[in-house]
Amino acid sequence: MFCINCFHKNTSVANSRPNKKQPQVWRRRTCSQCQSTFTTYERPSLADNKPIDLSDGSTDTFNLGKLILSISKAFTHSPDGAQYNALWLAQTVEDTLSIERQTITPEDIAATTHQTLKKFDELAAVQYAAQHQLISSTRKRGRPSLREHEPRSRESPSR
């Protein structure tokens, strides 16, 4: 990797630490020309590793930006919460999906996002569930809704 200070093409890794909980490596790099040091993080890229299987049989590419936006929308009660936390929450979801699943569906992304939010901010999790119509985390994909019309029952007495 080139140096972010002088753009010299040779830098070397001076120190490196794997994260114990996430598939992530922290590195300190040193430039061989200007001797400046800088930090990098290496994480798996879900977009390049696993396609999203859609219910119609086609596939889509994981989009971290889209996930950051949908997490932000769950923080209507706390704009600061969205500003400071949406990125790392989305990256946590991406890392979780990277290590836990062979194939992913939009429902997997929604369920993992919901679980991740639940550990961090209960209200954000509730809002996310409402926005994504998550009834429960065990809801099967493609299941038809069983909503029936109840004929003339419980009509509120007006006037």
Please give the residue ranges that form the binding site for Zn ion (CB under 5 A).
Answer: 3, 5-6, 8, 31, 33-34
For 3-59, give the DSSP string: -TTT--S-EEEEEEEE-SSSS-EEEEEEETTT--EEEEEE---HHHH-PEEPTTS-E
Measured between alpha carbons, how far is 51 from 60 in angstroms, rounded to an integer? 6
Min CB(17)–Zn ion separation in Å:
22
Closest Cα partner for 68 from 48, 83, 53?
83
Closest approach of Zn ion to the CB of residue 1, in Å: 11
Judged by beta carbon, residue 34 or residue 54, the one nearer Zn ion is 34
Q: Give the residue with the Cβ less far from Zn ion, 19 or 35.
A: 35
Shortest CB 30 distance to Zn ion, Å:
9
Based on CB atoms, which residue is closest to Zn ion, 2 or 84? 2
